[in-house]
């Protein structure tokens, strides 16, 4: 009996259970949607003024797009994944989102520092 209980306990990677994995997915999806909505006007402004962007900022924006795309793809795969895979995926959502948020903040700060024509920012 101990073996069976030990196996069940060890099957939940990082201490998450299926309900916690779903909660992590929902929270991360919502946060990522909000973050990308806030970043979009800055990205659009930079794209509209692409000729004035430094190569470093262009690279950072591409890298950020790849990060956002990677996390979005992972989130899109979550609902159809097996419960075990969902738990494994959810165990990294928090760190994945922190990394995307840090990159987004850096790129947004760089864009804000440019002398670009002002755009009307949508109200959130």
Query: Could you read off the pLDDT of 22-50 as tens digits, one per residue?
Result: 999 999 999 999 999 999 999 999 999 88
Give the DSSP letter string of 55-69. Answer: HHHHHHHHHHHHHHH
Asked if 57 and 111 count as a contact pair (C-beta separation under 8 A), the reply is yes
Report which DSSP code applies to 122: P
Q: Where are the beta strands (DSSP E) in 1-124?
A: none
Cβ proximity of 117 and 49 under 8 Å: yes
| Residue pair 52/116 in contact by the 8 Å Cβ criterion | yes
The pLDDT tens digits along the chain (124 residues) read: 333 333 444 444 457 999 999 999 999 999 999 999 999 999 999 999 888 899 999 999 999 999 999 999 999 999 999 999 999 999 999 999 999 999 999 999 999 988 766 655 555 5
Give the Cβ contact number of residue 111 at 10 Å.
20
Query: What's the CA gap between 7 and 33, in Å, rounded?
Result: 36
pTM of the model: 0.79
- Whether 116 contacts 41, CB under 8 Å: no
């Amino acid at each position: 009996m101990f073996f069976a209980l030990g196996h069940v306990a060890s099957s939940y990677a990082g201490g998450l259970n299926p309900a916690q994995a779903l909660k992590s997915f929902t929270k991360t999806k919502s946060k990522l949607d909000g973050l990308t909505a806030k970043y979009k006007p800055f990205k659009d402004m930079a794209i509209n003024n692409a000729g004035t962007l430094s190569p470093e900022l262009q690279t950072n924006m591409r890298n950020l797009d790849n990060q956002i795309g990677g996390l979005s793809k992972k989130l899109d795969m979550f609902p159809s994944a097996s419960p075990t895979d969902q738990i494994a995926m959810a165990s990294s959502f928090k760190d994945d989102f922190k990394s995307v948020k840090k990159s987004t903040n850096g790129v947004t700060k760089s864009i804000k520092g440019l002398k670009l024509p002002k755009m009307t920012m949508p109200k959130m």
